[in-house]
Structure 1
């Protein structure tokens, strides 16, 4: 069943509230904004937003644990906001948390089914929050990040985000290889001339420059995100680059994971393998 970003947020919030974990909620700004559920670590050292096995591995790896420190931007909409610092990965809607729950699960990246699906060698070490490499005109450098680098894969994770961002022409047209990579006249734009799906444009440009594959991971229920991906890929000039732009759903990935993790994904996110 296709869901909008707000509908999926409502589902994830309801699932979060049903879990017997320590949590708090944000205030919805109006009837259209569903309060988000924020989890925290309990007295046993477990965190409601993470599978226990994944969380232990994250904490044991300083580079991964640093990802947990990302600030939550809506902290002002939490009661007693000054009592503690809320983090982005505390939120039930966090695509980064979902990604780490899966990728950091013990033995997952040595599992033959997972490696075959992703086209990677067994035993790779994930790198989270890696700087993109897409040349710009002049001496400017691209400071944007990709969520995960895994071997030859540049992975962008999406869950309840409203889309892939819109950007004004000056931001998009600063990239050196824009005309080489895309049929510019076909790129989707709004009435003001702003470019739609800015993150996908950056990802394709980074794939062109690095020779890597840019992979978008999204929920099968978000048909709008899949359509955005197709809108961009059909504007890519070469078949060779199109072959290195990929789309995978959480549901497809969930079909390859161990049973314990699969049960967690179904209970917490409604993600069922193969659906």
Structure 2
């Protein structure tokens, strides 16, 4: 499956005129962002190109539905959506309505909406609305919640395709921000968050993140089970270890009874796929490798309800694989 091409967004689509921010500056339009991105290429530039594409699609999506939105300041503007009340109830432009209502109705899920974005103070011109992490059009966490908070997405016959794809059983609840207990050599545990837990499956979501993070060898070597899971070459002779999140996710799965680990990434990010295979080639046993998988959002989209497929296609450019 090759990378998807950037959608053609004509200059005369609804809402394509420049819109103005509260400070009088001029925001980006979708056609301008697409022209900046240019033709899609694989490799290191994929994160930047996908970010431009998602923001262009978000502007069109927001204009078409008159959604509350704005853009950040700086050289790489990001479209940000906000919550608002309507005659039919609350809505948020970064979420499909059904998922947003389900999130608001769940105490644990709704708490995720309150996490402030780290760039809020330096890149946000508005004072009447605080920018949250899941407000950003490029947020992988928001995409994850759009899918796994959609009512019935994992239930019954309608959810069978997604359960089979992920390798999970029925009756599993989506637990976001799961903190595993990964054993360290000093007897303590690393409890860094994993994006999602579905029973014994741990999920890390990626969208426009540049990579799977890098770490000093000493940080990686502190894990008690590192050399049980990976060949010594994973750290030997290196000044920086790439794919740190993949290593940590693998070790987190080992710490969960019958645990497995899955990365969800976009098919338009072949660079992340290359990083995945680079790290997975160092896994010691076939048994452990069988508990690790990488899926694309496009593959996930193919087994989702039609309503959710249409949303992902229009807002994210994610089409069924």
Global fold match (TM > 0.5): yes
Is structure 2 residue 272 aligned with structure 1 residue 225? yes
The residue aligned with 1:60 is 105
Deviations 1:81-112 (A, max 9, x none): x4332110000000000000001111101111
Output the CA distance in 1 between the equivalents of 2:170 and 2:229: 31
Deviates more, 1:241-250 or 1:71-80: 71-80
Is structure 2 residue 83 aligned with structure 1 residue 41? yes
CA contact (8 A) 2:116 2:132 kept: yes
CA contact (8 A) 1:187 1:232 kept: no
Is structure 2 residue 216 aligned with structure 1 residue 171? no
Is structure 2 residue 207 aligned with structure 1 residue 159? yes
Query: Do the aligned partners of residues 213 and 23 (structure 1) sit closer, same or farther apart at CA in structure 2, a change above 3 Å counting?
Result: same
Q: 1:120 aligns with which of 144, 148, 168?
A: 168
SS in 2 for 1:43: strand
Query: Do the aligned partners of residues 160 and 208 (structure 1) sit closer, same or farther apart at CA in structure 2, a change above 3 Å counting?
Result: same
The residue aligned with 2:58 is 16
CA contact (8 A) 1:189 1:196 kept: no
CA contact (8 A) 1:188 1:195 kept: no
Q: Unmatched 5+ residue regions in structure 2? A: 4-41
RMSD: 1.5
CA contact (8 A) 2:180 2:255 kept: no
Larger Rg: 2
Q: Which runs of 4+ in 1 moved over 4 A?
A: 186-190
Query: Do the aligned partners of residues 188 and 118 (structure 1) sit closer, same or farther apart at CA in structure 2, a change above 3 Å counting?
Result: farther
Alignment coverage as a number of residue pairs: 267
Output the CA distance in 2 between the equivalents of 1:189 and 1:14: 43
The residue aligned with 1:269 is 316
